[in-house]
Amino acid sequence: MKNLIIASTSTLYGGSYLDYLTNVLIEHFKEATTILFIPYARPSGITYDEYTKKASTFFNKIGKKVVGIHEFEDPKKAIENAEGIFTGGGNTFLLVSTLYKNSIVETLAQQLQKGTPYLGTSAGSNITGLTMGTTNDMPIVYPPSFKTLSVIPFNINPHYIDTDTALNHMGETRETRIAEFHKFNPQPVIGLREGSWLQVKDTTIILKGELPARWFTANANPIEIFPETKINELL
C-alpha cells in the first residue's frame, strides 16, 4: 500500500524549511523513528552533509532522527531497511543520474510500492511520476534514462507558475512547455502550485493544500482541479 506525500516545494515564501507541512508529516511518519534522507539533488551545489543537516533541523523538531543515504556503505540495504524516506529538492537531472549511478531506482520504487512512508519535495516529487520529463531544471548532468519511479501514473510539474500577462517576459510559459511535452508524450501532467501536495494512499491520490492545481492531458485544454479532488478519478 503506497503511502506518499508529494509536495511542490519544501519552503513557502516567508516560511522556514518544511514548516507548512509540520502537522502532515507528524502523522505521515508517526510509525518511524528514523528518516532516510536522499540528498542527491544538492540544491545550489551544497554537500550531502550540509543538506542532510538541513533536513535534520526540521525533523528533530518533531522527534525524528535523519540519516543521509550517503552515510551507508550499501544504499540498497539502506532503502530496504528504511522506516521512512525523504528525497529533497534541487536539480532533478542530478538526482536521477545519481539514483541510476547507485543502481537504486528499482529498489526505491519497490519499497514505495510496499508502503514505506515517503516524502518528496520538488525534485523529490518529480521522480515519483512516470518520467522526469516535466522538470523545470537545467540539464547539468545527463542521466542514463528519464524514466523515474512510476509510483503514480502521471507526471509532476512542481512550482507551477501561471502566465502573468502583466509581465514583459517573452519566453515560453509553463503551460506552453507542458503543451510541447504532450506533442511527444501521452501521460497526464499535474502542475502543483506552491503550498500544494498530493497525498497518496494505495491507489487513492488526493490534492491537498489551499490552492487548486492545473491538470494537463494531451489534445485537451488544461483544467483547474481543487483541493480534495481525487486525482485517480481523472485518469
The per-residue pLDDT for range 27-58, each reduced to its tens digit, is 999 999 999 999 999 999 999 999 999 999 99
Residue 48: CB atoms within 10 Å: 17
3-state secondary structure of 174: helix
The CA-based angle 107-112-116, given to 5 degrees, is 110
Place of cell 502550485: 193
Q: How far apart are CA 64 and CA 12, in angstroms?
A: 22
Written as tens digits, the pLDDT of the chain (235 aa) is 999 999 999 999 899 999 999 999 999 999 999 999 999 999 999 999 999 999 999 999 999 999 999 999 999 999 999 999 999 999 999 999 999 999 999 999 999 999 999 999 999 999 999 999 999 999 999 999 999 999 999 999 999 998 766 666 556 789 999 999 999 999 999 999 999 999 999 999 999 999 999 999 999 999 999 999 999 999 9
Which residues are annotated as catalytic?
Answer: 122, 137, 159
Buried b (16+ CB within 10 A) or exposed e, 11-39: beeeeeebebbeebbeebbeebeebbbbb
What pLDDT score was predicted for residue 169?
59
Domains of the chain, by residue range, sit at: 3-234
CATH of 3-234, one of 3.40.50.300, 1.10.1040.10, 3.40.50.880, 3.40.50.720: 3.40.50.880
Pairing of strands 3-7, 213-216: unpaired
pLDDT in tens, 157-168: 999 998 766 666
**Max intra-chain CA distance, the chain:** 52
What pLDDT score was predicted for residue 140?
97
Q: How far apart are CA 29 and CA 184, in angstroms?
A: 38
Backbone angles phi, psi at 147, to 5 degrees: -70, 135
Backbone angles phi, psi at 49, to 5 degrees: -65, -40
Query: How far are the Cα atoms of 36, 70, 164, 186, 216 from residue 201, in angstroms, in the given order?
Result: 20, 28, 35, 24, 22
Ramachandran sector of residue 18 (left: φ over 0; alpha: ψ -120 to 50; beta: rest): left
Which of 8, 2, 3 minimizes the C-alpha distance to 121?
Answer: 8
Supply the pTM of this predicted model.
0.96
Place of cell 485544454: 221
Helix (H) or strand (E) holding 39: none
3-state secondary structure of 213: strand
What pLDDT score was predicted for residue 172?
76
Q: How far apart are CA 34 and CA 119, in angstroms?
A: 13
What pLDDT score was predicted for residue 170?
53
Place of cell 479532488: 229
Q: How far apart are CA 84 and CA 96, in angstroms?
A: 20
